[in-house]
Amino acid sequence: MSEYPRLQSLRRINRVMARYYGQRQVLARLRPLAYVTSGAPVEILEALGILTLYPENYGALCGARKASVDLCRVTESAGYPADLCSYARSHIGAVMHPRDAPLRGMPRPDLLVCCNNICGTVLKWYQALASLYDVPLFVIDVPFQHTTPAEDHAVAYVADQLHEFAAWLETHTGRRIKPDKLDAVLARSREAVALWQEILAFGQHRPSPVNAPDLFVAMAPIVALRGTRRAVDCYRRLKAELEGRVARGIGAVPGERYRLLWDNIAIWYRLYRFFRPFMDDGACFVADTYTNAWTVELEPQRPFESMARTYSGVFINVDLPARTRIIAAMARRFEVDGMVMHVNRSCKPFSIAQCDVRDRLRDDLGIPILLLEADMCDERLYNEGAVRERVEAFLEML
Amino acid sequence: MKTVGFLTAYVPEEIFHAAGLTPVFIFHTPEDEGRARAHLPGFTCWIAGSALDQALTGKLDGLVGMAMAQTCDTIQGLADIWRQNVAHIPLLHFGMPLRLDSPSTRQYLLAELRSLRGRIQALTGHPISDDALWQSIAVYNRTRALVRRLYARAPHLAPSDLYALVRAAFRTPKETYNEHMAQLLELPLVLPDLGSRRNPPRVLLAGCELADPVLLDAIAQAGGRVVGDILDLGERYFAIDAATGAQREPTAPDQNPLEALADRLLALTPTPTKYRPSSDRITQVMSLVQERNADGVIFARFKFCEPHGFDYARMAHALAQAGVPHLLVELEQASQAGQLRTRVEAFIEMLA
């Protein structure tokens, strides 16, 4: 087994994220703090100077630090069934037993903001949080797009709620939203998203300077710091480093032989270890559907309407043909030789129709596709032997 | 008679009825040929798996369409899969909003109802008149009133009989159901032989679908009675009527039948996939326990159901604090009937 070149900017991103969590502990005493879902229109909060934390990101952190199983057990002993989302079980366990949780849990929120454009589970998770913390909850209902593009009455419904949401935040924090501040935040958000898109596009190079596990680490700022200068700064550095790799012909996987596409959320407790046999065989994951979920653009002219449209059309909120088209286009653009789909017990919107996506793409693209059952955080659902066997068989097929 | 299938507790059946169709709920069955497994992952609930299996094995070929409302992630995914694999039974999706409380909810819901009406018209090739909708609302209100009268007798009925009659409301043409149920309710109350216990334990049911026959039977065998429920397709489904054409005239002459349907859907006690801060389901269960003088609560949860799974934990906590005994049973296609029976019987014995 050889050592693989590591991206220096990832260390910086990890440091920025550690500081982000650390600072929140202190700043939360001075400014209102909201817990938000990963697909929420965070720009409105950012424009009001409200601090944000992402329980989903924290769930991923618990998974990566192998703390999830113990925390899930805490949640289960409080009566939550073991087949619920493992981000939610990890986080609720951390709320109940912060002493045993990474970073000793997150600081107590003043507000909860739940947007269902990523799943329906977040409603239940945030209702549980609202009763655990006894703080106000705002729910933004973003209808699933059964046809693409979104219908006008659905976009109007979301835009109306965003106005209602802004007023709700003003009432609860006593702060006033300033249009120029919102414009500035949206501009930074757009800049971060544009940089993130450029970073994802580096996977098109041969060899690819970046592998999916790198992106799973690198994605934290686009989730949690979108709309801030720090996100822009992190991604400028990462982009420069990737440009350097391309110029020198350095690949994330030296001697790249196969180019693969990853579908679904990462397996956080096996982040690099899972990908190791692929790398040892010269296979690089040049694209994935998870980190691609934040490639949305915002128009500054009509901020609420444009946010409504953008946040309605995120990858897992659109119909199956649209999702399949997006994956097929990625497979072609990144010239992949195969695909691995993580059938993630914890994420129904991502996982439920994967068999159909596989059947369709196998016919259209003529590439081997591996469906692999696991879970993003709950290690008890990971069958090491079965995974190894199936991965080996898949690599043979390539 | 043309029949349309449906899933979820939020399909406005009246619009289908007004189009001359008979909506029937597609209940899950233990018979399964395993065809859905090629499309759905192992962590999908029995309800979705069974509906897809029935469709793929031709058991639903008589349906002219299949309706589903926006509820949970599983049904959302099933709708996607249905469109691609059951093309001969067109899917009619209805975008029931998650938020029941926002100022824009009603407007969005009305647009969805208008869209559904248009798609049903396109399916049958005939317009659906307002008059037909008012008539269907009256027929459905009659059904709802009859089912409420049936529930009022619940403590005197065998649980399996009660739910066989409620289930029939989801499977029978409403005119037929109304006629027979009205006759049945005129009959003098005959207590079934449920054993000799003087004060049978009084149980509430919580969960999604109308409880499992094995479960109901076990409650009866142990001498228990069901005195009410907070099932998605149970009492709450029949609790509220839609305003009728006659009611609208003095106060709101411009109200159209779709508004009457929208207002009913919004007024119902929310299922766990919906959100209205002012009517918390946990509070509802607690007050139902008081009101019905229940001795215990049985949660019948379908394995892998997230909305009910999260609610269960919060309800169980509230019940435990109030000292109300409760039992969780998990339903899945491979459930062990013997084990379920033993646990339910032990629970009822404990309440007695």
**CB of B90 less than 8 A from some CB of A:** no
Over the stretch A138-156, which tens digit does the pLDDT of each residue have? Answer: 999 999 999 888 999 999 9
Q: What is the Cα–Cα distance from A187 to A189, expressed in whole angstroms?
A: 5
Do B306 and A139 make contact, defined as CB atoms within 8 angstroms? no
Q: What is the Cα–Cα distance from A351 to A316, expressed in whole angstroms?
A: 10
The predicted structure's pLDDT at residue A2: 56
Residues of B with CB below 8 A from A154's CB?
A: 95, 108
Q: What is the Cα–Cα distance from A365 to B261, expressed in whole angstroms?
A: 46
Q: How far is B309 from chain A (nearest CA, A)?
A: 6
Do A141 and B77 make contact, defined as CB atoms within 8 angstroms? no
What is the interface size between A and B, counted as CB pairs within 8 Å?
Answer: 147
Asked if the peptide bond before residue A149 counts as cis, ω within 30 degrees of 0, the response is yes
* Residues 342 through 371 of chain A touching chain B, CB cutoff 8 Å: 343, 345, 348-349, 351-356, 360
The number of beta carbons lying within 10 Å of the beta carbon of residue A281 is 17
Q: How far is A158 from chain B (nearest CA, A)?
A: 9
Where along chain B do its domains lie? Answer: 2-132
Beta strands at B63-69 and B225-231: parallel, antiparallel or unpaired: unpaired
Mutate to test the interface with A, among B44, B47, B102 (most CBs of A within 10 A): B102
The number of beta carbons lying within 10 Å of the beta carbon of residue B278 is 8
Q: What is the Cα–Cα distance from B274 to B267, expressed in whole angstroms?
A: 12
Residue pair B178/B51 in contact by the 8 Å Cβ criterion:
no
Do A128 and B313 make contact, defined as CB atoms within 8 angstroms? yes
Residue pair A358/A328 in contact by the 8 Å Cβ criterion:
no
The predicted structure's pLDDT at residue A1: 45
Q: Please provide residue B40's backbone torsions phi and psi, each rounded to the nearest 5 degrees.
A: -110, 140
Q: What mean pLDDT is predicted for residues A9-19?
A: 95
The string over A54-73, giving b where at least 16 C-beta atoms fall within 10 Å of a residue's C-beta and e elsewhere, is bbbbbbbbbbbeebbbebbe
Q: How far is A160 from chain B (nearest CA, A)?
A: 7
Q: What is the Cα–Cα distance from B217 to B345, expressed in whole angstroms?
A: 10
**CB of A163 less than 8 A from some CB of B:** no
- For chain B, what is the total number of helices (H) and then of strands (E)? 14, 8
Residues in chain B: 352
The predicted structure's pLDDT at residue B194: 55
What is the DSSP code string of A53-105? E-HHHHHHHHHHTT-HHHHHHHHHHTT--TTS-HHHHHHHHHHH-GGGSGGGS
- DSSP character at residue B99: B
Mutate to test the interface with B, among A77, A84, A141 (most CBs of B within 10 A): A141
* Residues 195 through 254 of chain B touching chain A, CB cutoff 8 Å: none
* Residues 318 through 347 of chain B touching chain A, CB cutoff 8 Å: 330
Over the stretch A242-254, which tens digit does the pLDDT of each residue have? Answer: 999 999 999 999 9
Do A120 and B273 make contact, defined as CB atoms within 8 angstroms? yes
Q: What is the Cα–Cα distance from A167 to B244, expressed in whole angstroms?
A: 36
Element spanning B329, H or E: strand B326-331
Q: How far is A5 from chain B (nearest CA, A)?
A: 37
Q: What mean pLDDT is predicted for residues B286-305?
A: 96
Residues of B with CB below 8 A from A157's CB?
A: 97, 102, 104-105, 107-108
At A131, list the tokens: 């009763």
Do A320 and B95 make contact, defined as CB atoms within 8 angstroms? no
Q: How far is B58 from chain A (nearest CA, A)?
A: 19
Do B77 and A353 make contact, defined as CB atoms within 8 angstroms? yes
Q: How far is A151 from chain B (nearest CA, A)?
A: 10
Q: Please provide residue B241's backbone torsions phi and psi, each rounded to the nearest 5 degrees.
A: -85, 160
Residues of B with CB below 8 A from A79's CB?
A: 312-313, 316-317
Q: Provide the residue type at A197 as one letter.
A: Q
Q: Which domains does chain A have, with CATH numbers?
A: 8-178 (3.40.50.11890), 181-397 (3.40.50.11900)
* Residues 89 through 118 of chain A touching chain B, CB cutoff 8 Å: 116
**CB of A326 less than 8 A from some CB of B:** no
Residues of B with CB below 8 A from A137's CB?
A: 277
Instruction: Determine the topology of domain B2-132 in CATH.
Output: Rossmann fold (3.40.50)
Over the stretch B102-136, which tens digit does the pLDDT of each residue have? Answer: 999 999 999 999 999 999 999 999 999 999 999 99
**CB of A141 less than 8 A from some CB of B:** yes
Q: Give me the residue from B41, B98, B104 closest to A116, CB to CB.
A: B98
The predicted structure's pLDDT at residue A295: 62
Q: Give me the residue from B71, B108, B307 closest to A153, CB to CB.
A: B108
Over the stretch B174-206, which tens digit does the pLDDT of each residue have? Answer: 999 999 999 999 987 666 555 555 788 999 999
CB within 8 Å of B316: residues ≥ 6 apart:
A79, B299, B326, B328
Lowest mean pLDDT among A107-111, A165-169, A358-362, B250-254: B250-254
Residues of A with CB below 8 A from B306's CB?
A: 84-85, 120-121, 124, 348
Do A146 and B93 make contact, defined as CB atoms within 8 angstroms? yes
The predicted structure's pLDDT at residue A179: 86
At B40, list the tokens: 């759905």
Do A81 and B40 make contact, defined as CB atoms within 8 angstroms? no
Chain A nearest-CA residue for B272: A124
Mutate to test the interface with B, among A148, A352, A364, A380 (most CBs of B within 10 A): A352
Q: How confident is the model at residue B278 (pLDDT cuts 50, 70, 90)?
A: confident
* Residues 256 through 285 of chain B touching chain A, CB cutoff 8 Å: 272-273, 275, 277, 282
The predicted structure's pLDDT at residue B254: 61
Q: What mean pLDDT is predicted for residues A63-92?
A: 98
Residues of B with CB below 8 A from A352's CB?
A: 40-41, 44, 73-74, 77-78, 80-81
Do B311 and A343 make contact, defined as CB atoms within 8 angstroms? no
Sign of the CA dihedral B145, B149, B152, B155?
negative
At A220, list the tokens: 């934290």
Q: Give me the residue from A80, A154, A343 closest to B309, CB to CB.
A: A80
Over the stretch B154-178, which tens digit does the pLDDT of each residue have? Answer: 998 889 999 999 999 999 999 999 9
Q: How far is B1 from chain A (nearest CA, A)?
A: 29
Residues of B with CB below 8 A from A120's CB?
A: 71-73, 76, 98, 273, 306-307
Do A128 and B78 make contact, defined as CB atoms within 8 angstroms? no
Q: What is the Cα–Cα distance from A323 to A343, expressed in whole angstroms?
A: 16
The predicted structure's pLDDT at residue B245: 66
Q: How far is B41 from chain A (nearest CA, A)?
A: 6
